Amino acid sequence: MTTNIIKIHVPYGKVSAIGPGKASLLEAIARDGSISAAARSMGMSYKRAWDLVDTMNHSFKQPLVATATGGSHGGGAHITELGFLVLHRYREIEAKASQVVNAEIGDLLALLAPIEE
C-alpha cells in the first residue's frame, strides 16, 4: 500500500506533541534551514508552522527546533539533537505500526464498498 492507513499522534495534555504533520515539518526545517521556507514547501502559513514548532518545543524536555534571529546573514532554524532523536524514533514507530497494520488490514479493506468518482 502506498498510503499510511494509520496516523500516530503522541499526546501531551490536550495537544499532540508530535504526529505525522509535525514530523514532516521537522524534516522540512532540517532540509530548508528555516521555518518560513519549510512552511512554504509544505503549503502552510508561517504562523501555522511557527505554532506547530512552538507546541513541539514546549511538549518535550528540550526544544526540537532552535531558531536564530535575523541580522546580516538572516535568521534560520535547525533541528536540535533531541529533535533528530524524536523524529527518528517517531518514524521508526510509524514504520513498525504500518507494517503490522498493513499485514492485518487486507480482509477489512476487502469489505469496503467501491469508491464512486
List, for residues 27-57, the tens digit of each pLDDT value.
999 999 999 999 999 999 999 999 999 999 9
* 65 CB burial (10 A radius; 0-12, 13-18, 19+): buried
Residues linked to residue 79 through DSSP beta bridges, in sequence order? 65
The answer to whether residue 1 is domain-embedded is: no
Supply the pLDDT for residue 1: 38
The answer to whether residue 116 is domain-embedded is: no
Tell me the pTM. 0.86
For residue 77, what is the enclosing H or E element?
strand 76-79
The answer to whether residue 15 is domain-embedded is: yes
The answer to whether residue 115 is domain-embedded is: no
CA angle 82–50–43, rounded 5-degree value = 110
- Do 90 and 10 contact (CB within 8 A), yes or no? yes
Low-confidence ranges of the chain (pLDDT < 50): 1-2
The answer to whether residue 114 is domain-embedded is: no
Supply the pLDDT for residue 97: 93
- The CATH number of the domain holding residue 59 is 1.10.10.10
Supply the pLDDT for residue 72: 55
N residues, the chain:
117
Supply the pLDDT for residue 2: 44
The answer to whether residue 2 is domain-embedded is: no
- Do 94 and 8 contact (CB within 8 A), yes or no? yes
Q: Which three cell numbers stand for residue 1?
A: 500500500
The answer to whether residue 5 is domain-embedded is: no
The number of domains in the chain is 1
Q: Which three cell numbers stand for residue 95?
A: 514504520
Supply the pLDDT for residue 26: 98
Q: How many CB atoms lie within 10 A of CB 44?
A: 16
